[in-house]
Structure 1
Amino acid sequence: MGKKKTLTGALLAAAIMTVAGCSGQGAASGETAKAPADPADASGTIKVLTHRTDLVQNGTMDKYAAEFNKTYPEVKVRFEALTDYEGEVKIRMNTEDYGDVLMIPAAVAKNDYPKFFAPLGSTAELGDRYRFSDKAEVGGKVYGVSTFGTANGFLYNKAVWKKAGITDWPTTPEEFVDDLKTIKSKTDSVPYYTNFKDGWPLTAWSNNIGSVTCDAKANDKLAGPVSPWKRGSELHTIDSLLHDIVEGGLSEKDPNTTNWEASKDMIARGKVATMQLGSWAITQMRAAAEKAGTDPDDIGFMPFPARKDGRYCAVLASDYQQAVNIHSDHKTAARAWVDWFTEKSGFPAKEGAVPALRSAPMPDTLEDFVDNDVNFLERSEAETGAVNAIDNAAEIGLNKPDYRQKLVDTARGAQQGSLSDFFAALDKRWNEAAGTVAP
């Protein structure tokens, strides 16, 4: 369960690249996968490919299918869970046989969606109904609906912070660092845990882009020779905070010894005070607290330490998007499943995630955000393709752990160089790459 959810969380920040060898066999008709006007209009057996092996193995998905059948009795839903979801689906997409419903692999370039997936409706139609629809929008049509979304911030052990005498969220990066220093001096807890060795948790820092200036289009604005790490920029603020935490000796002594699974128990028991992750992780940490015999309510979630006009902001980003195979013989039944799973299953609420359906309430896991009037911003994906192209050409990896691992090593003295030199080198590579990528 932990590993599968880990992959899900990591995927929120995965770069979209072209599928090697994916040819999209067969002609793309462009036929919309329409929702049935009457439940009786949906029939047939559909296969749903999923990365959630845990939910298939423990029978949870079958329970969802049984509920679905109460409305759509003529549709039989079969699930196929894939451990290496990205790798296996990428291979299958060289044929026409990649399920009837699937989660869009990160490896599929956004502009190639029409080759592989049936459109679900227009941007105007689905944008008003669902969050994150622009992530799967190509040419005015939407090709996927998000399973759920996640907010970014810091998981923290409230009891540890309270023991250090801290009851209010920090409002600036400097105040955040000062709070960690207080935790170090007044408790036995490790103030901050990097999860350096597993690597992927470091990518979550990129999901704070937009939270610093409360700008939902902040990521789009990276599409060009804009020196993303210049002083005052989102990434300068975000990465400087990580650097300052490590340089100040406020994280674990040896980042090469961190362990993701072990970190759950450590924060649950108060051995670790704080970790930067998406809100999807809250339920896992609270489950770890129950297992450890500590209070699950001690696991809190705070926004990035920055405010605009007196309010914190949290950027909401989409997880996997559900799509209908363009070659499916049962598009109506497949669309019925997508709509039902998104709107009626209760899946996002059970996962403690942000629902794609705009009319649905925020999850209980984000109750503190709602109560403290945190401003939720739906991240714009309008320029994601261009930003990823520059990032790939620059070989930096905003959504990969490598460059932040180098940042951590620089901060702890394991790699030579200053922070300013580190940022200057990143800006140079980014700007040069932007000049080689077609707009």
Structure 2
Amino acid sequence: MKKTALLGMAMVSLAAIGLSGCSSASNDDGDPSGEITVLTNRTDLVDTTFADYAKAFEEKYPGTNVTFEALTDYEGDVKIRLNSKDYGDALLIPSSNVTKDQYSSFFEPLGTVDEMSEKYRFVDAGAYDGQVYGISTFGSAMGMVVNKKVWADAGITEAPTTQEEYLTDLQAIRDRTDADPYYTNYADGWPLATIEGNLGATQGPEVRMEMAEDDAPWTEGTDQYKIDDLLFQTVKAGLSEADPTTTNWEESKNLLAQGEIGSMVLGSWAVSQMQDAAEAAGASRDDIGFWPMPWQVDGRFTSVTASDKVLGVSRNSDNKATAKAWVDWFTNESGYAESQGAISPVKSDPEPDTLSDFSALDVQYLELAPDPVGKEALLTDIANEAEIDIFGNTYRQKLIDTARGAADGDEDSFFSDLNDRWAAAQEKVSE
């Protein structure tokens, strides 16, 4: 696969058009000047990379000043702050507690879907009713970050093509190496939420509406079942860490990099972090690879691509011109996506080297279809009514507890309860 052909999207000149919604809006609101506060979840970058970004932005726009607030519990903290007008000037739009039909209540429009789609990927992620309220910081392809050396030591050099083969391979890692075959990241929680990004890998781009219309999505054959059954069976077989309550995300990067963990299901954004950790530990960056999930359709792997967080401007900002200029600059000039080894939101940017394994395996990429107009919040509404945080981590923590025998029940009872709650919520939401 050529880098310029990622996702089959036509490339446009970066110089041809800017972030048109932001640019025009900034002109309407005045030239960038004064101070802005930017909320971020990147606690690991705020004093280094992001400090450099602020300096570069301030040099481009003399008289501006960018201050960051890095939040460890980003979703939880921002949820509370949205109840006030104090949630910064530019911020990542929370994904678990703000529905798309609420965007206009909290965020400024940046442009129309039609004009933004000419230049940017993942536009729908921050859009509602034809308006864009947030621009993707970067995109990721879903798969497994693996320590290839660990897998090779267990006698495995090729990506598994089925769940059965995958579990057999993890068992080989358990039997032949000292590594934990899989790591759940149970304690931090949010990495468990990211595995939902595999939705669509076998069902296709319309999967969200199919799930919203399905009264039993945790039934064998659906993507939702595949995602959660894979996790359940992995934990049940003793192929993950001994005590999930003691996991630590930052430490997990070092453990995988040093060969103490064999694999984690994450987005491709994580690859460069693991490679950096390997290099820091004196290991080879080449030990870290990225393989597709162990499901094929017609003999071919599919990876779902999607936006990570989207960056927006507070409706209550006192300095919208500078906040919009920041969003424009961060998207087009910071190089953030490249630095993360991620898919750039700018269509003209090349595919990252972190997806080289996918190229060799001829993995096809899939971006989910936009939800139909008027149904943008349907799936989230059903999930919220059912109290099943499919885009969160609580129910998967309970899934892990059930699988390892720390909670009552088994997989059948666990999935049956999810289906019952989903069906009841679906009926109520449709009233």
**Cross-structure match for 1:411:** 403
Q: Percent identity?
A: 45
| Contact 2:304–2:366 (8 Å) recurs in 1 | yes
Structure 1 range deviating more: 262-271 or 81-90: 81-90
Query: Shift of the alpha carbon at 1:354?
Result: 1.7
**Alignment match, 2:342:** 353
**2:422 counterpart residue number:** 430
Other-structure match for 2:138: 148
SS in structure 2 of the partner of residue 55 of structure 1: coil
Map residues 14-413 of structure 1 onto 2, 5 A cutoff: 33-35=22-24, 42-51=31-40, 52-58=42-48, 60-68=49-57, 72-74=60-62, 76-83=64-71, 85-86=74-75, 89-90=78-79, 92-94=81-83, 96=85, 98-106=87-95, 107-213=97-203, 215-328=204-317, 330-380=319-369, 382=371, 383=375, 385-413=377-405
Do the aligned partners of residues 418 and 296 (structure 1) sit closer, same or farther apart at CA in structure 2, a change above 3 Å counting?
A: same
Task: From the superposition, tell whether residues 223 and 42 of structure 1 become closer, same or farther in structure 2 (CA, over 3 Å).
Answer: same
Cα 1:364–1:265, aligned 2, differ >3 Å: closer, same or farther?
same
1:324: how far off?
Answer: 2.3
8 A Cα contact 2:35 2:66, kept in partner: yes
Q: 2-side partners of 1:171 and 1:306: how far apart?
A: 6
Verify the 8 A CA contact 2:26 2:322 in the aligned structure 1: no
* Deviation digits for residues 93-136 of structure 1 (CA, Å, limit 9, x no counterpart): 45555443222234333212122322111111112321221122
In the alignment, the residues of structure 1 paired with residue 233 and residue 79 of structure 2 have an alpha-carbon distance, to the nearest angstrom, of 40
Q: Note if contact 1:212-1:304 (Cα within 8 Å) is conserved in structure 2.
A: no
* In 2: Cα distance, 1:193 partner to 1:100 partner: 37
Q: Secondary structure at the match of 2:179?
A: coil
Is contact 1:42-1:75 (8 Å) kept?
no
Give how far 1:396 is off: 2.0
Provide the rounded CA distance (Å) in 1 between the counterparts of 2:167 and 2:77: 43
Partner Cα distance (1:108, 1:334) in 2: 20
When residues 404 and 248 of structure 1 are mapped into structure 2, their CA distance, relative to the original with a 3 A threshold, is: same
Secondary structure at the aligned position of 1:219 is classed as helix
Equivalent-residue separation in structure 1 for 2:189 and 2:325 (angstroms): 38
Q: CA 1:250–1:66 in structure 2 vs 1: closer, same or farther (change >3 Å)?
A: closer
Deviation at 1:290, TM superposition (A): 2.1
What TM-score does the superposition give when structure 1 sets the normalisation length? 0.83
- SS of the residue aligned with 2:180? coil
The 1:192/1:349 distance shift into structure 2, 3 A limit, reads same
Offset of residue 158 of structure 1: 0.3
> CA offsets per residue over residues 292-334 of structure 1, 9 Å max, x none?
2222221111111112233211112222212123344654443
Give the 3 Å change call, closer, same or farther, for CA 230–110 of structure 1 in structure 2.
Answer: same
* 2: CA distance, partners of 1:200 / 1:328: 28
**What amino acid sits opposite 1:76 in the alignment?**
T
Partner amino acid, structure 2, of 1:398: I
Contact 2:36 2:319 in 1 (8 A): no
Inter-CA distance 384–408: structure 2 relative to 1 (3 Å threshold): farther
Structure 1 residues 218 and 75: CA distance shift in structure 2, 3 A: farther
On the 8 A contact 1:75/1:333 being kept in 2, the answer is: no
Structure 2 gaps, min length 5: 1-20
Deviations 1:366-407 (A, max 9, x none): 222233321222234525521111111111221232322332
Counterpart residue type for residue 137 of structure 1: A
CA shift in 2, pair 1:204/1:324, >3 Å: closer
Q: 234-243 or 398-407, which moves further after superposition?
A: 398-407
Which string of whole-angstrom CA distances, capped at 9 and with x for unpartnered residues, describes residues 130-179 of structure 1? 12211222221111111112222111110111122211111111111111
Whole-Å Cα distance in 2 between the matches of residues 267 and 245 of structure 1? 17
Structure 1 spans left out of the alignment, 5+ residues = 1-31
Q: In structure 2, what residue type is equivalent to 1:79?
A: T
**Any idea what SS the aligned residue of 1:300 has?**
strand
Q: Quick check: 2:149–2:287 contact (8 Å CA) kept in 1?
A: yes
Matched residue pairs, number? 404
Q: Is the 8 A contact 1:225 1:435 kept in 2?
A: no
Moved more, 60-69 or 86-95: 86-95
Q: Is the 8 A contact 1:46 1:99 kept in 2?
A: no
Partner of 1:230, secondary structure, is coil
Tell me how far 1:48 sits from its aligned partner: 3.8
Question: Structure 1 residues 421, 49: closer, same or farther in 2, change over 3 A?
Answer: same
Return the alpha-carbon distance in structure 2 between the equivalents of residues 266 and 177 of structure 1.
21
